[in-house]
Amino acid sequence: MKMIQPTSGPKSGENFWLWFLKIVTGLFIILLLLIHFVVNHFVAEGGLLTYADVVAYYRIPIVPIMEIAFLIFVVSHALIGLRSIILDLRPSRPALTAINWLFTLIGIASVIYGVWLIQVIVSRGSA
Amino acid sequence: MSTTKTKWTVNLKVYRKKGQKAPYYDQFTMEVDPDEYVLDAIERIWAFHDRSLTFRHACHHSTCGACGMLVNGVEKLTCITYIRDVVEDGGTIVIDPLRNFPIISDLVVDMSLFFDRMEMVGQRQVIPIAEEIVGSSQKAQSAGNGKEYLRLSDCIECGMCISACPIAATNPDYLGPAVLAGAQQSGLDKKPELLQIVDQENGLWRCHSAYECTAVCPSNVDPAWRIMDLRRQVTSQRFKRLFR
């Protein structure tokens, strides 16, 4: 019988940990979105309708932490998902390596920018 | 007096390809009984119109899995697909070979790699009688642990799930739904060596959960659910290994 050897692919392809991270971040996104909607519509009195309301809301210590976590989960989930789609286009190994680095940089830059933005909003509340 | 027409006139537009020549479609206008099957019409083309038409078929009752084709762009086992279900009187049926397999000739595709992969995950084409655990007349309805036997043994290896799979369309190295479902049925607990076959970059993590395989499976094998179950098994093994 002709046997096919399993392709022991390089680590740059799809793998368990990326898949698992995508699933876990997806679950956390749903959870945090749920908390976000409940707080905005049912907990905050009258809803967060004005800029001042939002700034005041960010003064609650858990809120910026939650927003930063949400940012990290969304960025990770989106970039891993986009990478999965790009894999369907069968990029060459060098191209995939470049994509991995590009997405890592985009992810880090997005999170740094987001954290800075949240920090700015929080600091305006304390002014 | 019944007004139901017992004969319909339909056009069959059939994919043709021979050797290195460019593919094209042949059209055949035929009188058919709408309660006939699509395979009957294809056989009649071969018998009365064009003996050079090549296609696979054998059992005519959805057991051999040989006659899987695209009927109007959808994977169908043509031996159990009624003409009335895919066309109306005066309409056209477009017949193509399965996707994601190399075409040998006309409607015949090369499934040898697929069959080899099925054997690789323990789903053999032929099982010697001596190795059969229980005779068919003695098969229990329960696996003994309270769970009913599932139906993967009913996989007829028609390849239609591979044809419908969007990942197989982009990557011929992807193992594909039937093979991963076969590995799930063989069981990682019974065959631990299957782990390195399925847990790799062209294995079960590539599935995008489109569930097209399950939608077209003529035998209710539900390959997509089996891929998800295999993921659950591998995830469980990974974490157990971490804390061992």
Q: Flag whether pLDDT at A17 surpasses 80.
A: yes
First-to-last CA distance in chain B?
Answer: 77
Q: Flag whether pLDDT at A3 surpasses 50.
A: no
Domain membership flag for residue A101: yes
> pLDDT above 90 covers what percent of chain B?
75
Domain B112-242 sits in CATH at: 1.10.1060.10
**ipTM of predicted assembly, 2 dp:** 0.75
Whether B235 and A7 lie within 8 Å, measured CB to CB: no
When comparing pLDDT for A1 and A113, which is higher? A113
Smallest Cβ–Cβ distance between A9 and the set B113, B120, B200 belongs to: B200
When comparing pLDDT for A52 and A111, which is higher? A111
Q: What is the pLDDT of residues A100-120, one digit of tens each?
A: 999 999 999 999 999 999 999
Residue B167 contacts A where some CB pair is shorter than 8 Å: yes
Instruction: Give how many domains chain A has, as a whole number.
Output: 1
pLDDT of res. B133: 59
Domain membership flag for residue A9: no
Global pTM? 0.83
Mean pLDDT along residues B129-139: 55
pLDDT band at residue A95, thresholds of 50, 70 and 90?
Answer: very high
Helices B223-242 and A16-38: angle between axes, nearest 10 degrees = 100
pLDDT of res. B145: 58
Task: Name the least confident of A7-16, B34-43, B160-169.
Answer: A7-16
Domain membership flag for residue A5: no
Alpha carbon distance A125, A48 (integer Å): 14
Chain B residues inside the 8 Å CB shell of A10: 201
pLDDT of res. B149: 58
**B8-109 against B112-242: fold identical:** no
Whether A19 and B205 lie within 8 Å, measured CB to CB: yes
Q: Flag whether pLDDT at A10 surpasses 50.
A: no
Chain B residues inside the 8 Å CB shell of A88: 166-167, 170-171, 208
pLDDT of res. A54: 87
CATH number of A44's domain: 1.20.1300
pLDDT band at residue A124, thresholds of 50, 70 and 90?
Answer: confident
Q: Flag whether pLDDT at B226 surpasses 80.
A: yes
Q: Flag whether pLDDT at B152 surpasses 90.
A: no
Domain ranges within chain B, ordered by starting residue: 8-109, 112-242
Task: Please identify which residue in the block is written with the tokens 């009187």.
Answer: B89
Domain membership flag for residue A1: no
**Which of A4, A23, A96 is the mutation pick for testing B, counting most B CBs within 10 A?**
A4
pLDDT of res. A46: 80
Whether A18 and B205 lie within 8 Å, measured CB to CB: yes
Whether A4 and B113 lie within 8 Å, measured CB to CB: yes
When comparing pLDDT for B124 and B122, which is higher? B122
Domain membership flag for residue A120: yes
Whether B170 and A88 lie within 8 Å, measured CB to CB: yes
Q: Flag whether pLDDT at B129 surpasses 90.
A: no
Smallest CA–CA distance from B206 into chain A, residue: A14
Q: Which fold has domain B8-109?
A: Ubiquitin-like (UB roll) (3.10.20)
Domain membership flag for residue A122: yes
Q: Tell me how many degrees the CA angle B190-B193-B199 measures, rounded to the nearest 5.
A: 110
Q: Flag whether pLDDT at B150 surpasses 60.
A: no
> pLDDT above 70 covers what percent of chain B?
88
Count of beta carbons in the 10 Å neighbourhood of residue B33: 15
Domain that holds residue A105: 18-126
Domain membership flag for residue A99: yes
pLDDT of res. B161: 97
pLDDT of res. A14: 84
Residue B27 contacts A where some CB pair is shorter than 8 Å: no
Q: Which of residues 16-55 of A touch B (CB under 8 A)?
A: 16, 18-20
Q: Flag whether pLDDT at A13 surpasses 90.
A: no
pLDDT of res. B143: 52
Q: Which of residues 86-115 of B touch A (CB under 8 A)?
A: 113
In 3-state terms, what secondary structure has residue A59? Answer: coil
Rg (CA), chain B: 21
